[in-house]
Amino acid sequence: MIRCIAIDDEPLALKQIAGYIKKTPFLELSGLCESASQAMELMENTIVDLMFVDVNMPDLNGLDFVKTLEDPPKIVFVTAYGEYALEGFRVDAVDYLLKPVGYPDFLKSANKVKSWFDARQLPPAEVRSNKDFLFIKSEYKILRINFDDIKYIEAMSEYVRIHLINSKPVMTQLSMKSIEEKLPEDRFMRVHRSFIINLSKISVIERNRIVFDGSVYIPVSDQYKSRFQAYIDKNFLA
């Protein structure tokens, strides 16, 4: 599933895009926002693969908002003004929809995004591990990843992204369950359906979120909160 949010200051337009997302089998609605500031707050705690963004919004328009994002998801701009199309593609938008948006045009854009994700699907991977490291088979290579080098692991649609200390993230087609089973329970913990963290790399916890590198906020969901709190209590110095 491709996780989506829609951003538009017009309630009727927002409701329409939400309906289209729910109607499309491979899309999942993760949130609705009436401003860029609402979207920024939502994205702190939500994994987003695709944004449908209105260009003309008060305070911060859609184009400027996308430019502020360090690692933006895929973007489809939605607006009543065609003159913004060229500027939209300059920020690597997948598509540009003109209001009023009909479902056929929406579905065409959604299929473009799906094709992009499908083209980047990696061949099935295997995981082998011992107490200090794991091997991941991916793209006909076998990669050794030391547990000490892992900060956290993130679910990304049909694959996972392993975030490392001093290297670029490693991506491979793998389920969270399969990699979780290979990780030592005393060193790693799942805190969200989309995140597994290395417990030794936690330095800051803020408002029920784990902060990495001062800018990455990983939420602790209700499903995993009690187990995580027990770990904190066990290691808490009053």
Q: What residue ranges do the domains of the chain occupy?
A: 2-119, 126-234
Fold (topology level) of 126-234 = OB fold (Dihydrolipoamide Acetyltransferase, E2P) (2.40.50)
> Distance between CA 153 and CA 160 in Å, rounded?
7
**Average pLDDT for residues 11-18, to the nearest whole number?**
95
Q: What is the pLDDT of residue 227?
A: 92
Residue 61's pLDDT band, with cuts at 50, 70 and 90, is confident
Mean pLDDT taken over the chain? 86
Q: Domain 2-119 is classified in which CATH homologous superfamily?
A: Response regulator (3.40.50.2300)
Residue 32's pLDDT band, with cuts at 50, 70 and 90, is very high
Q: What is the pLDDT of residue 150?
A: 96
Pairing of strands 27-33, 2-7: parallel
Lowest mean pLDDT among 11-25, 84-98, 162-176: 84-98
Q: Where is pLDDT greater, at 25 or 122? A: 25
How do residues 87-118 score in pLDDT, each as one tens digit? 544 567 888 888 899 999 999 999 989 888 87
Total residues found in the chain within this entry:
238
> Distance between CA 188 and CA 192 in Å, rounded?
12
Most confident of the following: 93-97, 113-117, 123-127, 185-189: 185-189
Q: What is the pLDDT of residue 85?
A: 46
Q: Mapped to the 3 state alphabet, what secondary structure does the chain carry?
A: CEEEEEECCCHHHHHHHHHHHHHCCCEEEEEEECCHHHHHHHHCCCCCCEEEEECCCCCCCHHHHHHHCCCCCEEEEEECCHHHHHHHHHCCCCEEEECCCCHHHHHHHHHHHHHHHHHCCCCECEEEECCCEEEEEECCEEEEEEHHHEEEEEEECCEEEEEECCCCCEEEECCHHHHHHHCCCCCEEEEECCEEEEHHHCCEEECCEEEECCCEEEECCHHHHHHHHHHHHHCCCC
Structure tokens at 236: 């808490």
Most confident of the following: 19-33, 139-153, 211-225: 19-33
